[in-house]
Amino acid sequence: MKFQVEREVLAEAVSWTARSLSPRPPVPVLSGLLLKAAAGTLSLASFDYEISARLEIPADVSEEGTILVSGRLLADICRSLPSAPVDVETDGSKVTLSCRNSRFNLATMPENDYPELPALPQVSGVVSGEAFAQAVSQVIIASSKDDTLPILTGVKMEIEGDLITLLATDRYRLALREVHWRPNVPGISTSALVKAKTLNEVARTLGGAGDLNIALSDNSELIGFESGGRRTTSLLVDGDYPKIRSLFPDNTPIHATVETSALSEAVRRVSLVAERNTPVRLAFTDGQLSLDAGTGEDAQASEVLETALVGEDITVAFNPHYLSEGLNAFDSKFVRFSFTSAPKPAMITAQDDIDGEDRDDYRYLVMPVRLPNP
Amino acid sequence: MRLIIAKCSVDYVGRLKAHLPLAVRLLLVKADGSVLVHSDGGSYKPLNWMSPPATVRTTTPAETELEEGVQEQWIVQSSKTDDRLIINIHEQLHESHHDLGVDPGLIKDGVEADLQRLLAEQIHTLGDGYTLIRREYFTAIGPVDILARDPHGATVAIELKRRGVIDGVEQLTRYLALLNRDPLLAPVRGVFAAQQIKPQARVLALDRGIECLTLDYDAMRGADDSSTRLF
C-alpha cells in the first residue's frame, strides 16, 4: 500500500476515527485503525464492538492495500507532524510514514483478525446537524452518570412522524427537547435509547457539517449517524426506559419570568458560598427575586433580581449545580419557572419577551431541595 | 483495662529494635495481657505495642537509670517470642482501672453478607422473571454466592463483591468452569455484581461473557429517600 495525503486532512480524519477506540481494548486488534487505500480514496475505520466509526478522504493512492496500525499512536503522530504532504508506504510488516524530514516506522497488526464492522442501517431520515447538536447538548446535562441505573445513562429518542423528542433524566432532573426532522418514511413511529456519551460525541463531531442522516435498524439494536462523509454506528442501550413524560406538571398556577443571563450569573456568584449539598434559595415575590445561599456563621451571599411573577409568592431551594446546568442550557433572553407548589418539581422553559408566552420545545424539570420549615 | 498517662521512654527489643524518646504518653494495659503505647495523635494506631499473650513485670531501675530520673521500669515480655517492650517511666500522671466486660464485637453494615441476603431477597434486581435457586451454592472449590434461574430457565451464577476488582472476575470464572461441567446445571452464565466495578474488571468480565451489575446498596436496603427525587 502506498498513498500521499495532506497532513491536515489526515490528522483530522485519524483523530476523529481514533476517538471511538476503546481505552481498554479486550482484543489487541481493536486498538488499531483500519486504513484502506483504493482508487483515489483512503478509508479509515475503528470499532470497539459497541461503536464503529468510518470515513473516507481523497488521497493520492499509488498502490492499493489495507493495513491495521495502532490508532492512538497514529493520531499522536499525525497531530505533531509539520504541515506538509504525508507519504505512507508499507514495507513488509512495517509501515513507513514520512512527512518533510520526519520518518516514522510503525508495526502493523494482521488485518485479517479485525472484526467486520456493522453496516450502517438504511437511512431513516435527515435532521439539521446544528439543530440536533444543540438539542443533544441541552438534554445531555440531565442524563445520569451513575452505573447503578445503566438505563438512565442513555438519552431516549422518541420518533413520531417529523418530530424527534429527546429525553434524559438522572431522577433529580429531567430534560425534554423536541427537534424536527425529515423522515424518509412518513408516519414513522419508533424509539431508541442511546448512551449519552455516544450521542454527545455524535453531536460534537457530526453536528457541524450540515445535514445529519439518522439510520435506525429494523431489529432496533443499532443506530447509525452520517454526515459529511463520516459514518458512525452504536449499539443501543437495552431495557425499558421509565415513562417520565407524566412527571411534567399539568397545572402550574405560579410562574415567574427572569432574565436568563442575569439569573445564571447570580446563581453562579451566590452558590460560591453554598457548600457541598447545600442549596441556593430563590424567593419570588411580586417584581423581585432574591437569591441566597449559605447558612449560619460560615458565609452567606444574597442577590436581588427583577422578575415578573404571576400567582402567589413562592420560595424554593435548588441544588446550585442542577440549577446552573439547566440555566446554561437556555439561549433565550428570558426563562420561565413554572411551579405547582414549593416542594413539587419546578419546570423551566424558554421565553422571548418578559410578558410573552413560553416555548415548550425545551423543558427542564428539576426537583427542589426540601427546606426545613421556617 | 488499665489506663496510665506517664512521661516515659519506650524501647522494643527482639526481632527488631525501636526507640521512643521521653515524652508524655498513654499506656493501655488490656485484660488479655497486651500493652499499647499511644500518643495524642496518629489516629487509632499505637506508637508501639506488644500483642498478647504477654506478661508485664515491674522492676526497680538500675543505678544508672535511677540517675537519669527513671522511677519505674516495666518489662513486657512476649510469651511466644523473645521480644520485649521496655517502658521507663519517669513520672506517672494518671492511673485508672476499668472492668469493661465482654465486648459484643463490631457489626459492620454493608458487608458482602448483607449484599448477598438483600440480592437473594430482591432477585428481580437482575431483571424480571429471575428466580433464586439458593444462596451459597456449594461447589468443590468453594461456595458460589448466589445461584439463580433466568426467565428462560437457564442457570446464572452470581459473584457478589463490595468492590468489584479483577480477582472477583477470576473467582467467578473458576466457578463457571466447574459449574458448566455439571450436566444438570449447564449452561451456566455469570453475573458479576458489586457496589462499584473497576473498569479493568468490567473489561475482563465482558470479554469472558460475564454480565456486570452495579448494585445500589441504599436502594436495596430501603434507605433510599425517593422524596428528594422526581421519581
Q: Over the stretch A184-227, which tens digit does the pLDDT of each residue have?
A: 988 899 999 999 999 999 999 998 889 999 999 888 789 999 99
Percent of chain A with pLDDT over 70: 99
Topology of domain B2-97, per CATH? Protein Yojf; Chain: A; (2.70.180)
Task: Say whether domain A2-113 belongs to CATH 2.60.40.1730.
Answer: no
Report d(CA A97, CA A9) in Å as an integer. Answer: 15
DSSP annotation of A149: S
Q: Which residues of chain B, if any, have pLDDT below 50? A: none
Pick B110 or A232 by higher pLDDT: A232
Report d(CA A12, CA A9) in Å as an integer. Answer: 5
Residues of chain B neighbouring A242 (CB-CB closer than 8 A)? 231
Tens digits of residue pLDDT in A241-256: 999 999 999 899 999 9
Q: Is the pLDDT of residue A93 over 50?
A: yes
Model pTM? 0.78
Q: Is the dihedral of CA A264, A269, A272, A275 positive or negative?
A: negative
Tens digits of residue pLDDT in B28-54: 999 888 999 999 988 889 999 999 899
Residues of chain B neighbouring A168 (CB-CB closer than 8 A)? none
Of B197, B204, B229, which has the smallest distance from its Cβ to A171's Cβ?
Answer: B229
Q: Report the Cα–Cα distance between both ends of chain B, in Å, rounded.
A: 52
Topology of domain A123-245, per CATH? DNA Polymerase III; Chain A, domain 2 (3.10.150)
Name the minimum distance, in Å, from the CA of A171 to any CA of chain B.
Answer: 5
| Domain A249-366 CATH superfamily | DNA Polymerase III, subunit A, domain 2 (3.10.150.10)
Cβ <8 Å between A147 and B214: yes
Residues of chain A neighbouring B214 (CB-CB closer than 8 A)? 147-148, 150
* A249 touching B (Cβ < 8 Å): no
Nine-digit cell string for B204: 475482563
User: Cα–chain-centroid distance for residue A230?
Assistant: 17
- Judging by beta carbons within 10 Å of its beta carbon (0-12, 13-18, 19+), is residue A91 exposed, middle or buried? exposed
Tens digits of residue pLDDT in A39-51: 899 999 999 989 9
Query: What does the pLDDT read at residue A374?
Result: 47
Architecture of domain B110-220: 3-Layer(aba) Sandwich (3.40)
Q: What are phi and psi of A122, to 5 degrees?
A: -60, 135
Cβ <8 Å between B230 and A345: yes
| ipTM of the prediction | 0.71
Residues of chain A with CATH 3.10.150.10: 2-113, 123-245, 249-366
Beta bridge partners of B114: none
Residues of chain A neighbouring B229 (CB-CB closer than 8 A)? 171-172, 367
Nine-digit cell string for A36: 484502506
Instruction: Give CB contacts under 8 A, 24+ apart, made by A200-205.
Output: A200/A136, A200/A137, A200/A140, A201/A19, A201/A20, A201/A232, A202/A136, A202/A232, A203/A132, A203/A133, A203/A136, A203/A137, A203/A140, A204/A133, A205/A16, A205/A19, A205/A230
Asked if A78 and A11 count as a contact pair (C-beta separation under 8 A), the reply is yes
User: Cα–chain-centroid distance for residue A28?
Assistant: 28
Query: What does the pLDDT read at residue B227?
Result: 79
Residues of chain B with CATH 2.70.180.20: 2-97
Q: Stretch A28-34: mean pLDDT, rounded?
A: 93
